[in-house]
Structure 1
Amino acid sequence: MASKDGLTLGDLYRGLREQFAAANVPDPEVSARRIAAEASGTSAAEVALAPQTPMTVRMVAHADAMAARRVAGEPLQYVLGSWAFRELDLATDRRALIPRPETEVVAGIVIDWLNGTARHRHPAGLSVADLGTGCGAIALSIAHEVPQARVFATDKSADALALAAANLAGLGNAATRVSLHHGNWLDALAGVRPSTTPESRETSAVSEGEGDTAGQNIAAAVTGLHGRLDVIVANPPYVADGDALPAEVRDWEPHEALYAGADGLGALRTIVREARGWLAPGGLLVLEIGSEQGYAAVALAEARGYADVRIEPDLAGRDRVLVATRPRSEPDNVAIGQAIERLHEGHFVVAPTDTLCGIMARYADADAVARVCEAKDRPRSEPMPILVSGISQADELVEFSPRARALAERHWPGGLTLVARRRGGPDPLHGRETLGVRAPAVGWLRWLIDETGPVTGTSANRHGVETPAGADDAAASLAVLPVAGAVIAGAAPGGVASTVVDVTGDQPVVLREGAIGADSLGFPDFPAESGT
């Protein structure tokens, strides 16, 4: 577009709109209005309100340069070099994802919670980790809108962190409550202290692995931020590797911030898994997800032992945000981590569970399960229930019909034991073809099982003897005592044992009524040909 005497802002806008429409640029009117405003140094509103404003040669040249980039397919946000996000105007370029309205919903959930529930709980200050911060949209918005928040923003991309630093420089006083850390997800915060100040904003040198060996990360003493974060929030990559994306996204935005493995859940799995131990009791996990990932995201969080798990919609009503809470009352990280280590070493662990104190050993360790039988004076030929973290672990052990799966989806975690056909033939200890499996309601117990694999779920007593209410007393009463540190102290709440349902046949059969009444099970009705 060449300049000429008498060219006005209105002329510039109309010329751009025609050029973009002819080039099939998406939303040509929006692009024309925003580029005309940027080139002329006015606002988008002034393009319509003051169309007679004269244009200079430099303004037209600037508009021409931006128009050429837009016609070439570059996203409007990158062409303009900045974009609004909630109350901020952020620098944007190819080093990080474009801030979108869906992510504004994510930030809003966190900000509302921090300014409401959390502010009254911790008036002196709140600690927030924004993982994969990109241009800093979520982190900076939280710092700007929540005066009590101290925000730790991480990213494994040094380029993205440089862009976030540029945006941070324009934040004003709130910038003193934000620090940037180079590394992968929560690994970037290893060794960071709550008192870390942005004035000494040194990046954390970390590896980019998936975390420590089972139990070690959880068992780590609560130092630094581990176990103290009030919120962990992220907009992680969640596109499956083979999924098609619009050319504007695929060809311009950083792939490492978009794609997350064959099913798109790789980053979500890692964050849901690791965040459990980094959150303070009662802390909140908030993650942006794909619109078709709600069910899978909930299953991941529930298997990890989070409470109050839910999915929130975006502005278009699509599933968009996973919200989950670390339960307030549970054993500390050290006790849970030590129990995980003992289980992996082949020992059994005594702990309070849903109702009674239980004795747990890794089901995959036949020798450990045999020692449970010995400790209980129980014949090896009698099967024990097996505790799983959720349906995914159950699928590795037993065969679920559609009807059985629907029962598990409806009543797990909770007081329902399903007796199903064992995969791989008879159990090596008791020799039967079936197993009873259950996902316990206790969140920390599902967390432990998610780390170790399925465990025995039998009461911690000698065969035929009442189980003591306290874990220490229960452990002391066994015929074989657990090793030191293999008891999670506390008293069991008591209550009704689980309802047991046989799902090996065409119709579910209640073998024992318990916590869930038979009339409340709501057996799903499937046609016989569906594999029931």
Structure 2
Amino acid sequence: MIAALTAAQAMVAATARLRAAGVDDPARDARVLLAHAARIEASRVTLIAPEELSPEIAERYEQLVSLRAIRVPVSHLLGEREFYGRRFRVSRDVLDPRPETEALIEAALSQPFDRVLDLGVGSGCILITLLAERTSATGLGVDLSEAACLQASANAVAHGVQDRAEIQRSDWFENIGGYFDLIVSNPPYIALDEMDGLSPEVREHEPRLALTDEADGLDAYRRIAAGAPDHLVPGGRLLVEIGPTQAKAVSALFDAAGLADIRVVPDLDGRDRVVGARMPG
């Protein structure tokens, strides 16, 4: 009979396996996945390190590590991802919330707003965070993907903002009426010729529709720039996340659309991350 591994031994073996598979931070992932398999908080893994794993936990851990070794994202294995201090349910139907998108949140929260539109709502992390932080605001989130709309709706309920958040299917502005004092978006901005350079976690497991326009990466910004002036109140703001090389091109699109006060906001790593503009008037 083979002796059961302790939690520490299992983590060492998992770390080596994930490192061999090319995973970026194998020790962290091995720890997080063990916590998930054992159904404990990651901070408690050290406490169980000397203990033998039960057969049930060992089997769950083996399955999780096997999936991570073929580059299934950790967030998909856990079913959630943290964003701006809150946990959001995620799946392969929506783009993973990313830390750099918090620059968009900070820019949005820097000034008051009452009515917000999120174009390409995905998991709902942007819209729901803004409504959770501004408890008097209401918002509309739209997405071309019906599955994404369902995921965003579920996250709205989980965070208690469902009464202030409307989620509906729309191809950008197609089904949208009314005016907003804030429009936000993290659109697909990866150019087709950049897709092969993405990690397997992103390229193979996140929705292609949310990653690329299958062209130069700027098509979404063209559509947003064209439609935003018809849906912004005078003085209303438009904020979009961008790829780090797109600030000049997106700023030019917003300028050509008649928007004013165009500015570029960096993320915490100092890379261009958000382009903002305002509706004149």
Q: Scaled by the length of structure 1, what TM-score is found?
A: 0.50
SS at match of 1:102: helix
- Equivalent residues of 2:186, 2:240 under 8 A apart: yes
**Correspondent of 1:178 among 149, 153, 165:** 165
| CA–CA separation in structure 2 for the residues paired with 1:282 and 1:65 | 53
Q: List per-residue Cα deviations over 1:367-393 (Å, max 9, x = no partner).
A: xxxxxxxxxxxxxxxxxxxxxxxxxxx
Task: Count the aligned residue pairs.
Answer: 279
Match of 1:33 in 2: 31
SS at match of 1:130: strand
Match of 1:250 in 2: 203
**Correspondent of 2:121 among 130, 133, 137:** 133
- Equivalent residues of 1:155, 1:161 under 8 A apart: yes
Match of 1:52 in 2: 50
- Equivalent residues of 1:9, 1:40 under 8 A apart: no
* Residue 145 (str. 1) matches residue 96 (str. 2): no
Larger Rg: 1
- Equivalent residues of 1:111, 1:142 under 8 A apart: yes
SS at match of 1:281: strand
The structural deviation recorded for 1:75 is: 1.4
- Equivalent residues of 1:290, 1:319 under 8 A apart: yes
- Equivalent residues of 2:153, 2:162 under 8 A apart: no
Q: List per-residue Cα deviations over 1:245-290 (Å, max 9, x = no partner).
A: 2222111111111112422100011011101120111111010111
Match of 1:79 in 2: 77
Is there any run of 5+ residues in structure 2 with no aligned partner, and where? none
| CA–CA separation in structure 2 for the residues paired with 1:230 and 1:88 | 25
**Correspondent of 1:16 among 14, 17, 23:** 14
Percentage of pairs with the same residue: 34
**Correspondent of 2:275 among 319, 322, 330:** 322
Structure 1 pair 92–310 and aligned structure 2 pair: CA distance change class (3 A): same
| CA–CA separation in structure 2 for the residues paired with 1:83 and 1:56 | 27
| CA–CA separation in structure 1 for the residues paired with 2:180 and 2:279 | 11
| CA–CA separation in structure 2 for the residues paired with 1:30 and 1:179 | 37
Matches within 5 A, 1:299-378: 299-327=252-280, 329=281
SS at match of 1:166: helix
Matches within 5 A, 1:306-455: 306-327=259-280, 329=281
The structural deviation recorded for 1:301 is: 0.9
Matches within 5 A, 1:277-288: 277-288=230-241
Match of 1:386 in 2: none
Match of 1:231 in 2: 182
Q: List per-residue Cα deviations over 1:61-91 (Å, max 9, x = no partner).
A: 1111111111111112112211101121111
SS at match of 2:18: helix
More helix by share: 2
SS at match of 2:97: coil
| CA–CA separation in structure 2 for the residues paired with 1:70 and 1:159 | 24
SS at match of 1:10: helix
Structure 1 pair 57–142 and aligned structure 2 pair: CA distance change class (3 A): same
Q: Bigger CA drift: 260-269 or 94-103? A: 260-269
Match of 1:164 in 2: 152
Matches within 5 A, 1:189-200: 189-190=176-177
* Residue 89 (str. 1) matches residue 87 (str. 2): yes
| CA–CA separation in structure 1 for the residues paired with 2:214 and 2:205 | 19
Structure 1 pair 22–281 and aligned structure 2 pair: CA distance change class (3 A): same
Match of 1:272 in 2: 225
SS at match of 2:141: strand
SS at match of 1:129: strand
Read off the aligned partner of 1:183 and give its amino acid letter: S
SS at match of 2:213: coil
The structural deviation recorded for 1:3 is: 8.6
- Equivalent residues of 1:13, 1:47 under 8 A apart: no
| CA–CA separation in structure 1 for the residues paired with 2:35 and 2:139 | 34
Read off the aligned partner of 1:170 and give its amino acid letter: A
The structural deviation recorded for 1:4 is: 4.7
| CA–CA separation in structure 1 for the residues paired with 2:21 and 2:180 | 49
Read off the aligned partner of 2:144 and give its amino acid letter: K
Q: Scaled by the length of structure 2, what TM-score is found?
A: 0.93
SS at match of 1:188: coil
The structural deviation recorded for 1:54 is: 4.8
Match of 2:111 in 1: 113
SS at match of 1:263: coil
Match of 1:188 in 2: 175
The structural deviation recorded for 1:142 is: 1.0
- Equivalent residues of 2:37, 2:57 under 8 A apart: yes
The structural deviation recorded for 1:10 is: 2.5
**Runs of 4+ in structure 1 over 6 Å off:** none
